[in-house]
Structure 1
Amino acid sequence: MRLAELSERSGVSTATIKYYLREGLLQPAHRRLVESVAALARLGYPCDTEQLLPYGRLAAQLAVTDLDMVEEQPTPTGQIEAAVALTVLYEPVLLSLRRMAHAEESARRF
């Protein structure tokens, strides 16, 4: 996505976005979120706060669970390993669980 388009869709000036990028304030996860929301909006899908808030709440609960698991590790090395494992390996697990839940809910509804 071009900066001008991101600026238009987000309401943030291109100069501000460039500043955020230059200073490292727009981390890859934030950038991916902004780009994805803008793409959804471009395609006409609802993606404002009302639609995103339930997902944000669930993500916050996942973060608590993840960090609880990290804290259970007795050593700093174990905590680092747990953080990496949860970040790298749990994402596909969570995606799979979401897809399984979709299939189950679809079968129930349709």
Structure 2
Amino acid sequence: MPIIDTLLNDFFWRALIGGLGVALIAGPLGCFVVWRRMAYFGDTLAHSALLGIALSFLISVPLNVGVILTCVVIAVALVVFSRVRALATDTLLGILAHSALAIGLVTL
């Protein structure tokens, strides 16, 4: 397929615009996350999503609802526990991530 066909393809332009949009949003958000010393926040939410999936299967609710609610609960727990200041934020993120992962695996 010649390069001109690729440039004229509607899918190419939609993907390019979508990628630029994600880059414009994710760049400042990533700087904010590192500035707040929450480098493992995405990892924590990804691990807690497994717990959300396991709980969704257990109580027969849609997967999206279970994952979103579990991630919100983990984020609120992070805010509550970080105000205590007994642990560093990255340490707390690691504890929450691996606790959610372990509970999710046991639940499955």
Classify the TM-score, shorter chain.
0.3 to 0.5
TM-score (norm 2): 0.41
Structure with higher Rg: it is 2
Which structure ranks higher in relative contact order (CA pairs < 8 Å, sequence separation ≥ 6)? 2
TM-score (norm 1): 0.40
